């Protein structure tokens, strides 16, 4: 019987401080692991989560690894064989994060692993919990206390709607609830700063609103003192804007 494992990782912003989380549905009970890095990328944290999950098991263990990262799943199931045949190179150059890829490959080769992609943030409890653990690992890497646990991991999207509204109500008016506009507030920006935000958001593959929201959340997570300290360490310069693209096989 395979042990179900959820692995997740991420950064905010990307590149930037990140974390990884693992949930192992063991026979004796749930096992949770997490960690983080002050300077990393989404892809590195996704790989690190899978690596730490496999490290937990002895050789020969039967595992079903569930990840919401297609980067991880496709790397292992589709791309690695070609990379190794070419000396760990892609059609455009060296494989990114090659040391993590090689460790993941070696760990998986000594275990019986079934790799399963799951869609993130759709209410699957193990995946949602792994996401929360990754956020906790990121906070720990920044030297911040963990957020208080308010019960089970929150559901999102349609899953949250179905959990919160009675089936009869869903049958009569689901569209009204799902189309309710988000509550927002307007914050004016200097024209020059607005242009900088637009360029940075475009480089990160985000909308300006999403980019600003991430920046504000990071500042709130850090707090005034840690935020100013990080700005001073960076010389007041903005963090790198580029995101790490998924490699081609």
* Residues forming the active site: 8-9, 46, 68, 121, 131
- For residue 89, give the 3-state DSSP assignment: strand
Q: In terms of Cα–Cα distance, which of 244, 5, 247, 248 is closest to 124?
A: 5
| Contacting residues for 156 by C-beta, under 8 A, at least 6 apart | 121, 122, 123, 128
The residues that bridge with 22 in the sheet, in sequence order, are 7, 33
Q: CB neighbours (10 Å) of residue 81? A: 12
| Contacting residues for 23 by C-beta, under 8 A, at least 6 apart | 5, 6, 30, 31, 32, 126, 129, 130, 133
Half-sphere exposure of 19 (CA within 13 A, CB side): 22
Residue 94 tokens read as 């060296």
**Using CA atoms, how far apart are residues 135 and 121, in angstroms rounded to an integer?**
14
The number of residues in the chain equals: 249
Q: In terms of Cα–Cα distance, which of 28, 32, 42, 37 is closest to 5?
A: 32
Question: Please, what sign has the CA dihedral across residues 221, 227, 233, 238?
Answer: positive
Q: CB neighbours (10 Å) of residue 79? A: 18
Residue 129 tokens read as 């919990």
């Amino acid at each position: 019987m395979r042990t179900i494992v959820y692995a997740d990782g991420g950064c905010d912003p990307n590149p930037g401080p990140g974390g990884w989380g693992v949930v192992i549905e063991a026979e004796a009970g749930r096992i949770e692991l997490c960690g983080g890095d002050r300077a990393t990328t989404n892809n590195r944290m996704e790989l690190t989560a899978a690596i730490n999950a496999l490290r937990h098991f002895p050789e020969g263990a039967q595992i079903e690894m569930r990840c919401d990262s297609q980067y991880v799943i496709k790397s292992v199931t589709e791309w690695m064989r070609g990379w190794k045949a070419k000396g760990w190179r892609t059609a455009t150059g060296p494989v990114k994060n090659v040391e993590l890829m090689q460790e993941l490959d070696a760990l998986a080769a000594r275990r019986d692993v079934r790799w399963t992609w799951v869609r993130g943030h759709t209410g699957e409890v193990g995946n949602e919990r792994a996401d929360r653990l990754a956020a906790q690992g990121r906070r720990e890497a920044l030297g911040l206390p963990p957020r208080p646990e308010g019960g089970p991991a929150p559901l999102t999207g349609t899953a949250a709607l179905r959990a919160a509204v009675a089936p009869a109500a869903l049958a009569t008016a689901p569209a009204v609830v799902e189309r309710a506009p988000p509550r927002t507030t307007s914050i004016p920006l200097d024209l020059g700063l607005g242009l900088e935000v637009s360029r940075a958001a475009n480089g990160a593959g985000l909308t300006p609103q999403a980019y600003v929201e991430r920046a504000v959340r990071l500042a709130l997570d850090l707090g005034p003192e840690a935020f100013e300290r990080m700005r001073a360490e960076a010389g007041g310069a903005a963090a790198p804007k580029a995101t790490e693209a998924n490699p081609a096989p």
